[in-house]
Structure 1
């Protein structure tokens, strides 16, 4: 507590309180009697040397140095820490820094007096000429650099600046984060530091979760979250496990998104307003072709003939009692076109690991500048949310969201060419089918064309257009062969996801002295219902519904591959923080609980014949609960120790039952199950388990701007519905799975400061080393018989491996000034390794004698083989401001190397989950934002400015990324 006169109700404080917050209970407060200063003094920059300590002490020294009369409720600042302040600032700027992260706002009157109140209850109804200043931690770009763990935040300006083409582009450029297969299926699956899938990295929107496990055939599996980026206001990526009440099972980290807020929509000083936003983009097809076999097109459009568009309208209102936001958004993107430059690298590729790879790469499927089929999206979304502000610090928020998303999707194994030219580099055929389009290849791949054109090759027979050197033959076509089906690919009917989400949020931070130190309550309750219709089933195990088997590689694929599922998730979490100030230091005890229920079932009732033949879709439910606690201890303001843990458990019930078969009498010993007969059903499977995971951390602030930290956190993930229930015989579930246990060790250091190179600039820098090990990681492998021979496709087993380890270094930095700004990050992934002694021994017994117990990536059939992140990645944004900061323009560069390892050893490769051979890529994006007026803002972007042909890291599908794409957007606030 600062050394100040005893608390008393000053006339200034009571007058302002009655004028601003009529009807609220008056509370005891005190005033700091400081000499009043003129307006000139308010604008004058002064040197502040305020050491770290309590916020009370910091405000006392600030008021004395600034010469201001400051009124504040003692209960609002009680127990709050401050990192102090050092440097030259104007009073308003200095106070903004001191209040950063406190949840308080300061109000400056023209006579030099200041009132500090809670930001959540702040009103703009001040006397004429007053100035409002809020703690800027949420907006100044340095928030992430004062947190003793790895976290990265994107605000609305950053999200809209790089909206990108696919929904997954929302997270492009975040250090240590990749999205898996973001061009196929319309969803987002996030990989953080080499870890993803099955709830390890949940995506939350306003506290709610939604995800759907999708089988990807030979490419493995995906766990997708479906969101509409046009309704997102901010994104926070947390890396690694935490003790947050709602983070149970999130052992790899989490992505937390917030939808549009009143401050995103309203103009400064307004209480009611609208925001209208629209955009146009090129590099897309005129329409989405009718499904099945089509020829990809090459007619790219320009921005004057744009086919892609978006539009949104939002409304907001706020006052002291409540605020409300309503918004509608729609976006249509047709199939995009691939880039034109760098294609030839994918024919025979040197991966970063040094091995020469000649594989069925993306170049064998899509040609330079060609339409990428199944890449469309069409989203329609609506949201309505509001928050009530009650007496004594109580807040209650309610919200509803609806999303209807149609998206291109295709099983990765069905991406390919049909007809005589299914392999490259054969040219496109003319409409009259009389000769190869030699000019096409001369322009698209001149270096390859020149190499091959010098070789005199004989004309091959039939439809084989390759000679022994791999060069095509420039001759007339065989007049006998029917080429009408040549160069065709499959365009599936778009999948669809409909989502209904209800959310509620509860906060209570009492203003009553007797409760303020002990209650800081936060809670969420939510429910998400989704229905999905997709074409990603397995033909021979999909329900036939009395119509018999339909060829999944024919026009009947929709019946054979259709997956129609309903998914409901319900969750709640509640946590509280109690603070104690003692002679030995400050304590903060946080404790919480969470619960989730999930159920998935077919939208249509199954047929008995399908049940008796194990042609079933997933049908089960799951409960998960957790209790968490963390004790924070500050013996001195600069040093913080934290210790805690989480206890969690689960229960799963499978509504499906496995159909059993008996060998007929007289069956031979070599074929005992030939013509086997149905013999009833097994019992329903039911699983449960629990465990405890501890967590520890320490941080030290050497100065208010320099901090170092170390943490050791464990986290447990309970098995998922996908891993434990029947639904696809391509991956048999395992009813003896053990929970995963994540062990994370991280050390880091950070710096943040201001007035470094220019007046009023700010900069942040953070360096972190991480080492993650998942004991008993759940993945998929071939099921081996006693002789060590692997089973065929369809005999794969979900099982625990001994461990999976990732290791790496991350660096992120930020700079902002009145003239220019920059963000830069660098990631070096050191290790991604799977250890499994029992499976390795089975491989050795089967003849692969050199198989090690631990291998890079994963063993054959493992999902981790498709989750191999780049060895290096660099993200850089450089921008400049002009015309009184109305114009911001610059460039973003994203560099990714090839994958960490080439997984080509005998123990890596098998029938399924092959590694996709993506190569290093440098992608440049240009941006320009111009604030035309207080109401109108215009933005122009060019993505992939150099029109590169490349495959995204972590892609499971051979679908190249979009080529050069221009976008024009405008926002109007009124």
Structure 2
């Protein structure tokens, strides 16, 4: 099993030229131990997605995901259905729920085989124990599953009817990248916008970003921070240390459960857990990791513009990190402690630029960037320190309580997208200082003998403080500093009923989120909506105020036959908000809406799914959209309306084993989506006839995004290949009687009412291809990755003679193709050496949603050593 886990765990969308890391095992499954009570107590948990339906099909999925061989007489399963199991649990607990109400029990007969038996004939043998006579009937063997925890998590998106993605720890270790947002490079439909302007992450999912449209969390906790970036719009800010991530789960479109307000999707960064560190069959374990990287200098000298063309050698540079993590577990308790420190200097750009990029002003007086090839990119350094502590107590029949704490402390460079002209973003700014404290509490109650109870309760609190280096310049007095305290929680339950029509799964719950935003107020000239100025007006860089959001949700899924299931439900979302300080003069806001959803899934063949779904969502306006005032630029609009989403999707999933040879695996996922967002919020002039005057946040009729996503791979053990691509068919914004159009990339836009909306428009197509081989009994992995993106949808860069200069708020860049190489050598399961080269051909390029004229890193060498104990 160890080999199988390693093989499938390495399959990820690895990336960026080798990239160091790995070892942090995302998972050894508990199915590799002897069939004893001791093993049952220490088995690692696994993420399962075994759907309700015919028992034989559910057991097949379970076996594959658990990495177990499941055997039983065909007659035992004939005509029986199962409620299935979805969630994280030990194989024993998951199998017990799958067999509820069937009159069957199970027994482990060896380290990797479980036998399904008639409970009455078995004499009521305890779960996990062999029958009294020790006998085992293997004729016929009905289903075989092999893999492990990592393989199960990687398989889950291809067995889930809907657009979901998973990024494993192994994938992160192979492709650490330069910025945290690089984790999404190989994920279809997701791009980290403005990925080089600071330490935060601002994800774009299928064209939606900013203002809370994407619900981004760390261990389920929101940070709910945003900053104003002028012509680029508002940027959501989430901070997480990549070395502390255990895995990333992504769901696109409005949530049918917890996730109020996130109409674009939900991204959850799961931090490290004991399962990521402890070897199979052990009670404790740990990981020590160290890495070095080149192509970087120090933090730069404040106020100085670095010279062009002064890059160090390939293996020279100021990039290093180290971390240590230790975990232990018993039958009733488990805990983990981790510490990480990472320093990275300003990186250097690539050498080979495409024709048409302007480094000096053109005939129109504009340039794209003045940070030239092989040059230092100022304000891109980081010095981050993180601490993680988690402990879980388990008692009774399926009860547990987990408490967690995470500290993130980063002194980092930051680029002001508000200063949109290239020459304003090229000098070194004072460093920013960001601190985040996150507290979580998670209670679970999931008794083995009650299919009506699978209770989950989450409570969390995050405290974010930001001292912006951008606010330390002359006359600014740090007014961009702010803090955000967010508290929230949710409770839910999943019940399974055996009805005359089939297995019915009902999920329901409620959620509450409270945001508390503080900001430094200062006095100065502010423009009044009716004309004139108030020279003693109060304003702020961020928004002082409070916002509450709440929701109740319920859904059901009915397995009518072994090939057809239908589902549906809805959610009631609401909010209330009020401004504080100067914003208290505006009225309080509140509202609510019911949003339905429906889905149908057809399984014509084992391992093949066809699905269709429709979901609606509701996004309340943020505090910034309702109450923010900033000088002569932005005035509050307390009448801005909530956004309403309507998402349509049809898709195909394929997950098959033994396709071309024994032991191989093929995965494929295709999805067509059409998403409409009514009352879409843009920043636009209060007077359309004066597009460079006073702005506010206003609604247009709608925004539409239509496209196709494809992803998948083939793994034959000794070699593997993976690919993902997103292609947009149509993107348009519709504003009343003006009709529908795509926002102009030109600063002098004929329709200024669309404001900064063009900066959220993704490339027309983007994607990646990863391939590799595993040699010497899979101890050595060699491979490479190509990732690419076109111009933004509707862009005209293709004709270099008509390339626009970057003097405005819609930034556009040429297409790119970047090659990475990676190598990983595993020595005796304890020591892993990773080497890599990113951007092998040293391209000078801008990422898919770059927001300023700072190119991505050039050729970069990385290396790391990871030791597990």
Task: Report the TM-score range of the alignment, normalised by the length of the smaller protein.
Answer: 0.7 to 0.9
TM-superposed CA distance for 1:609, in Å, is 11
1:126 counterpart residue number: none
For residue 573 of structure 2, the aligned residue among 627, 632, 648 is: 648
Deviations 1:522-562 (A, max 9, x none): 1211000011011456xxxxxxxxxxxxxx9xx62653x64
2:597 counterpart residue number: 695
Residue pairs, 1:537-556, within 5 angstroms: 556=474
Secondary structure of the residue aligned to 2:758 is helix
1:186 counterpart residue number: 199
TM-superposed CA distance for 1:52, in Å, is 2.9
- Alpha-carbon distance in 2 for matches of 1:911, 1:798: 24
Judging changes above 3 Å, is the alpha-carbon distance between structure 1 residues 656 and 299 closer, same or farther for their aligned structure 2 residues?
A: same
Residue pairs, 1:424-573, within 5 angstroms: 489-511=426-448, 513=449, 516-536=450-470, 556=474, 559=477, 562-573=479-490
For residue 586 of structure 1, the aligned residue among 492, 503, 523 is: 503
Deviations 1:319-354 (A, max 9, x none): 1111111000111111000000125441399xxxxx
For residue 290 of structure 2, the aligned residue among 254, 272, 278 is: 278
Report whether the alignment pairs 1:296 with 2:307: yes
- Alpha-carbon distance in 2 for matches of 1:359, 1:955: 21
CA contact (8 A) 2:718 2:775 kept: yes
Report whether the alignment pairs 1:869 with 2:762: yes
Scaled by the length of structure 2, the TM-score of the pair is: 0.81
For residue 156 of structure 1, the aligned residue among 158, 165, 169 is: 169
2:385 counterpart residue number: 380
2:529 counterpart residue number: none
1:195 counterpart residue number: 208
Report whether the alignment pairs 1:973 with 2:868: yes
For residue 918 of structure 1, the aligned residue among 803, 809, 813 is: 813
1:63 counterpart residue number: 71
- Alpha-carbon distance in 1 for matches of 2:63, 2:399: 27
Judging changes above 3 Å, is the alpha-carbon distance between structure 1 residues 161 and 764 closer, same or farther for their aligned structure 2 residues?
A: same
CA contact (8 A) 1:506 1:522 kept: yes
CA contact (8 A) 2:756 2:809 kept: no
1:45 counterpart residue number: none
Report whether the alignment pairs 1:805 with 2:805: no
- Alpha-carbon distance in 1 for matches of 2:128, 2:35: 12
- Alpha-carbon distance in 2 for matches of 1:683, 1:778: 22
For residue 574 of structure 1, the aligned residue among 468, 486, 491 is: 491
* Higher gyration radius (CA): 1
Judging changes above 3 Å, is the alpha-carbon distance between structure 1 residues 558 and 490 closer, same or farther for their aligned structure 2 residues?
A: farther
Judging changes above 3 Å, is the alpha-carbon distance between structure 1 residues 893 and 102 closer, same or farther for their aligned structure 2 residues?
A: farther
1:543 counterpart residue number: none
Deviations 1:394-443 (A, max 9, x none): 1211100001012211223547677xxx9xxxxxxxxxxxxxxxxxxxxx
Deviations 1:755-798 (A, max 9, x none): 112221111111110000000011111111xxx522534x0121
- Alpha-carbon distance in 1 for matches of 2:502, 2:290: 54
For residue 245 of structure 2, the aligned residue among 232, 236, 243 is: 232
CA contact (8 A) 1:776 1:800 kept: yes
Secondary structure of the residue aligned to 1:222 is strand
CA contact (8 A) 1:865 1:915 kept: yes
Report whether the alignment pairs 1:409 with 2:414: yes
- Alpha-carbon distance in 1 for matches of 2:832, 2:615: 44
Report whether the alignment pairs 1:257 with 2:243: no
Secondary structure of the residue aligned to 2:397 is helix
TM-superposed CA distance for 1:382, in Å, is 0.2
- Alpha-carbon distance in 2 for matches of 1:773, 1:532: 34
Deviations 1:474-527 (A, max 9, x none): xxxxxxxxxxxxxx942101111100000111211112x3xx121111121100
1:428 counterpart residue number: none
1:316 counterpart residue number: 327
1:760 counterpart residue number: 663
- Alpha-carbon distance in 2 for matches of 1:57, 1:310: 39
2:45 counterpart residue number: none
2:124 counterpart residue number: none
CA contact (8 A) 2:71 2:115 kept: no
CA contact (8 A) 1:762 1:815 kept: yes
TM-superposed CA distance for 1:134, in Å, is 8.8
CA contact (8 A) 1:693 1:715 kept: yes
TM-superposed CA distance for 1:95, in Å, is 12
- Alpha-carbon distance in 2 for matches of 1:911, 1:950: 15
TM-superposed CA distance for 1:856, in Å, is 4.8
Residue pairs, 1:774-785, within 5 angstroms: 774-784=677-687
Judging changes above 3 Å, is the alpha-carbon distance between structure 1 residues 112 and 17 closer, same or farther for their aligned structure 2 residues?
A: closer
Judging changes above 3 Å, is the alpha-carbon distance between structure 1 residues 910 and 294 closer, same or farther for their aligned structure 2 residues?
A: closer
Judging changes above 3 Å, is the alpha-carbon distance between structure 1 residues 644 and 416 closer, same or farther for their aligned structure 2 residues?
A: closer
Secondary structure of the residue aligned to 1:643 is strand
**Structure in which a larger fraction of residues adopt strand:** 2
Aligned length: 766
CA contact (8 A) 2:524 2:539 kept: no
- Alpha-carbon distance in 1 for matches of 2:57, 2:537: 70
CA contact (8 A) 1:189 1:223 kept: yes
1:12 counterpart residue number: none
For residue 707 of structure 1, the aligned residue among 601, 606, 609 is: 609
- Alpha-carbon distance in 2 for matches of 1:569, 1:332: 28
Residue pairs, 1:574-723, within 5 angstroms: 574-602=491-519, 612-617=536-541, 618-657=543-582, 683-723=585-625
Judging changes above 3 Å, is the alpha-carbon distance between structure 1 residues 106 and 164 closer, same or farther for their aligned structure 2 residues?
A: farther
Deviations 1:108-145 (A, max 9, x none): 4389886999xxx999xxxxxxxx99984652432211
CA contact (8 A) 2:70 2:114 kept: no
For residue 401 of structure 2, the aligned residue among 390, 396, 399 is: 396
Judging changes above 3 Å, is the alpha-carbon distance between structure 1 residues 133 and 817 closer, same or farther for their aligned structure 2 residues?
A: closer
TM-superposed CA distance for 1:887, in Å, is 1.0
Deviations 1:812-846 (A, max 9, x none): 112222201111112110111110115x3xxxxxx
- Alpha-carbon distance in 1 for matches of 2:281, 2:702: 55
CA contact (8 A) 1:530 1:567 kept: yes
- Alpha-carbon distance in 1 for matches of 2:420, 2:839: 24
1:459 counterpart residue number: none
User: Which stretches in structure 2 are left out of the alignment for 5+ residues?
Assistant: 1-33, 43-53, 120-126, 130-143, 527-534, 746-750, 798-803
Report whether the alignment pairs 1:326 with 2:337: yes
CA RMSD of aligned residues (A): 3.8
User: Which stretches in structure 1 are left out of the alignment for 5+ residues?
Assistant: 1-14, 24-48, 84-93, 124-131, 350-355, 423-487, 538-551, 659-681, 841-851
1:792 counterpart residue number: 692
CA contact (8 A) 2:707 2:729 kept: yes
Judging changes above 3 Å, is the alpha-carbon distance between structure 1 residues 587 and 410 closer, same or farther for their aligned structure 2 residues?
A: same
Which has the bigger relative contact order, CA under 8 A and spacing at least 6?
A: 2
Residue pairs, 1:816-855, within 5 angstroms: 816-837=715-736, 840=738, 852-855=739-742
Judging changes above 3 Å, is the alpha-carbon distance between structure 1 residues 901 and 829 closer, same or farther for their aligned structure 2 residues?
A: same
Secondary structure of the residue aligned to 1:314 is strand
Secondary structure of the residue aligned to 1:599 is strand
- Alpha-carbon distance in 1 for matches of 2:805, 2:353: 29
